[in-house]
Amino acid sequence: MNMEKEFSASTRERDLDSLGETVFDAVIIGGGIIGSGCASILSQLGLKPLLLEKNDFASGTSSGSSKLIHGGIRYLDQGKLLLTRNLLKERNYLLENSELVRPVEFRILTGSGSWKPWKIRLGLILYRILGGKNKFPVFFKNTGEYGSGIDGYFTYMDAVADDAELVIYNVVSAHKSGSICLNYTRAETIERDDGEFRIEVRDMVSGKKHIARGRTVINAAGPWASEIMGLAGLQFREKFRLSRGIHLIFMRDYLDTGSALAFKSKIDGRQIFIIPWEHVTLLGTTDTFVEDPDQLSIPENEVEYLLESAKYVVGKLDREKVVGSYSGIRPLYGEGETPGEISRDFTVVSDKGFISVLGGKITDYRRVSRRVALETAKYLGVQVRVKGLPVIDYSRKNCSDIYRHILKYECPLYTEDVLRRRTGTGLFNPEKRDEEMMKIRELFGKNMKDGEPDGKRPDS
Ligand SMILES: Cc1cc2nc3c(=O)[nH]c(=O)nc-3n(C[C@H](O)[C@H](O)[C@H](O)COP(=O)(O)OP(=O)(O)OC[C@H]3O[C@@H](n4cnc5c(N)ncnc54)[C@H](O)[C@@H]3O)c2cc1C
């Protein structure tokens, strides 16, 4: 017997049509990792949330990350011990409880321009004390596998996950527990009236407008958070900053480093990662202040910066061998001259039932969601216990026909929703992309729109 609950284009239509009938406990704006995590936890607590996402779920920053579930060795260098400890706790929990999160061995390189070996050893000992799961750090000499400026490396364990898939699992899990989740539905105006929020939303597929009503609003719009605060007439927070990071993708048979690598760029001393997946290898990332959350371009100078930074480690990489790239905008909250100096921690700001999340990391999404759930419950005057809840009540493990399953239970509307954010083929297995696209078209015909609507990230 199938225990899933239908979550498809048809249920979406029905949910949109009956939107005005319910006053939701929380209207969550933003279907990235934070919004989906909040929807998941609130519905597990027996509250009634509505999740609104203007594009597809996970189409914002939550599919544009480095895909690390980690404590952040770099944050130790900045003295952020508590943040690292919290992140490691979350990493360990997800490693033990999520089928999407898997361990990965990293090599952290030492040599000219990089960290000194004693500093790395100390950092890794601290990392082990704070998060366990690692052995005492041992130094290995570079025996020619890396550039001549690299003396050697230490190994350590962290984890990776397909960020978009993690969001989708959270959304489906939230839907299963009673949350209404609507992709391609944009919040356009927010009014507060008689203790209730009235949000005008637009169905981005039909263009029709609907009204959603909520006792609270959770602003989980990531880099668009200040825009949403503006809709509610709240003041922009100066400490809220945006930074863009890009990644380049190579086929693994061209760039295969075996283990994932972490090293400092010889150009400016920033940390760079090279992370092999099954078929491709990711190289990233950059960290550049931007003003606009839609500034998702992939500038040539940032591409050059990544290629040049990697050259000293793995040799010259041919620009022509870049098979894909993507860009994401970090929502950051804190102070710093450069984006790298700004804390990766989050803050929750509450204003009479309007709750905004500013900053945060994918790794930390459960901690953020718990904080937001407590804040929401406090405003609603209900008692909740947020500890010990199951991570996600959803799995694809036993499904026999993945595409039919996705169409019926994960609500994709466009082919890119499947390729980019449900199976990940578009990113992680580009050679299979066309084949998969044909299969989806054949199977679903008119039930699936081609590509994705305008105004999306310029992944290539
Ligand atoms: C380059 C880069 C690398 C990173 N690497 C890592 C990493 O390795 N590990 C890690 O833990 N973290 C990493 N991060 C951080 C992490 O990706 C982000 O903190 C996280 O994805 C933010 O999630 P979010 O849900 O807040 O925002 P988003 O994922 O952007 O979600 C917000 C959503 O709100 C929607 N929205 C906006 N306006 C409206 C509206 N009016 N109506 C409805 N919906 C709306 C948007 O479409 C968007 O989907 C990285 C970030 C970047 C940019």
Centre of ligand 1 to C-alpha 149, Å, is 36
- In the chain the domains, ranked by start, together with CATH numbers, are 9-62+164-239+346-380 (3.50.50.60), 79-160+240-341 (3.30.9.10), 402-447 (no CATH)
Please give the Cα distance from 331 to 402 (Å, whole number).
Answer: 33
Whole-number Å distance between alpha carbons of 162 and 23: 34
Nearest atom in ligand 1 to the alpha carbon of residue 37 is 25
pLDDT score of 460:
43
Q: How far is the CA of 193 from the centre of ligand 1 (A)?
A: 30
The reported pLDDT for the residue numbered 112 is: 76
CA distances from 114 to 46, 79, 343 (A): 50, 18, 22
- Tokens 């499904």 locate to 399
- Strand pairing partners for 191? 198
pLDDT of residue 62: 98
Is 359 a pocket residue for ligand 1 (Cβ < 6 Å)? no
Contact 442/415 with Cβ under 8 angstroms? Answer: no
Of 16, 28, 66, 275, the one to substitute when testing ligand 1's pocket (max ligand atoms within 8 A of C-beta) is: 66
Q: pLDDT under 70 in the chain at which residues? A: 1-2, 451-460
Taking a C-beta distance cutoff of 8 angstroms, is the pair 419, 84 a contact? no
339 Cβ inside 6 Å of ligand 1:
no
Quote the Cα angle for 56-246-435, to 5°.
55
State residue 322 phi and psi, 5-degree precision.
-75, 115
Ligand 1 atom at minimal distance to the Cα of residue 231: 41
pLDDT tens-digit series, residues 150-166: 999 999 999 999 999 99
pLDDT digits (tens, 9 = 90+) for 302-341: 999 999 999 999 999 999 999 999 999 999 999 999 999 9
Query: What pTM did the predictor assign?
Result: 0.96
- Any atom of ligand 1 within 6 Å of the Cβ of 60: yes
Give the separation between CA 242 and CA 227, rounded to whole angstroms.
Answer: 12
| Ligand 1 pocket residue status of 366, Cβ below 6 Å | no
Q: How far is CA 173 from the centre of its chain?
A: 17
Task: Tell which one of 62, 83, 273 to mutate to probe ligand 1, the residue whose CB is within 8 A of the most ligand atoms.
Answer: 62
Q: Identify the pLDDT of residue 2.
A: 46
Residue 451 pLDDT: 67
User: Is 421 close to ligand 1, i.e. is its CB under 6 Å away?
Assistant: no
Residues 105, 108, 112: CA angle, nearest 5 degrees: 160
331 close to ligand 1 (CB < 6 Angstrom): yes
* pLDDT per position as a tens digit, 250-282: 999 999 999 999 999 999 999 999 999 999 999
Are 135 and 73 spatial neighbours (Cβ–Cβ below 8 Å)?
no
Decide whether any atom of ligand 1 lies within 6 Å of the 245 Cβ: yes
User: 348, 331 in Cβ contact below 8 A?
Assistant: no
Ligand 1 pocket residue status of 63, Cβ below 6 Å? no
- Assess whether the C-beta atom of 107 lies below 6 angstroms from ligand 1: no
pLDDT digits (tens, 9 = 90+) for 31-78: 999 999 999 999 999 999 999 999 999 999 999 999 999 999 989 988
CA of 142 to the centre of ligand 1 (A): 37
